[in-house]
Amino acid sequence: MRLDFTGQTVVVTGATRGIGKQIADDFAALGATLVLTATSPEAVEALNAEGDGRRRWHAVDFTDPSSAAAFADALEGMARIDVCVNNAGINRINPVDETRLEDWNDVVAVNLTGPMLVTRAVSRVMKRAGYGRIVNIGSIFGSVSREKRSVYSTTKFGIRGLTVASSNDLARHGILVNSVSPGFVLTDLTRRILSEAERDELARQVPAGRLARPEDISPAVLFLCSGLNTYITGQDMVVDGGFLNV
């Protein structure tokens, strides 16, 4: 048995860097045709100009209701969508008593409202075919939390609710909905916000002895989105090197 997405149309939000880029690259390597999002219109124009025809980029700002709605409408108008990965996400770190309403609204819009709108749109297309796979990218902060993570954790706990509830609605239509929750992942953002010493200290807290790489997360997503998954739905796959177990 092997993974093969040849002939399938796959949607991945937030695909320009980190986990999202890895997921998109892996789907492309396995034959998929991709519908991808980025926030910068200039970047999208350049990406579409240099593309190979199997990746179509859309400029989407999920903090802008009209932009998010336009993308959802575009998805709903597609003839076929086999797979959707709701990956786009942002974080704003502050103690709860210093949280700004603007930050709350932005993080909820990108991390929770965006996945709901995209799920609603793609599921309508998938129901017509009687087949679909949806994976929401969660976080270990949807199970535990830390200081200054009240807004982010709220959205990631919410993603679990969206996953479970929508899986109940869609399973009878051949659509399986799951989430993948990464632990601490070594991305460009992690390198910017944490010093090398801080990264080393964090890695020592992980039983696997290191931070995750984006390529550690992508295989879990690929499996859940593949035809090898025929009966798993409403579940959360934690990919954290054992961190939640200690």
Which residues are marked as active site? Answer: 152
Hey, which residues does 94 pair with through a beta bridge?
A: 149
Q: Which of 156, 143, 213, 221 is nearest to 184 (CA)?
A: 213
Q: Which of 235, 239, 241, 35 is nearest to 122 (CA)?
A: 35
Q: What's the rounded Cα separation, in Å, for the pair 126 and 107?
A: 27
> Read out DSSP for 162-212?
HHHHHHHHHGGGTEEEEEEEE-SB--HHHHHHS-HHHHHHHHHTSTTSS-B
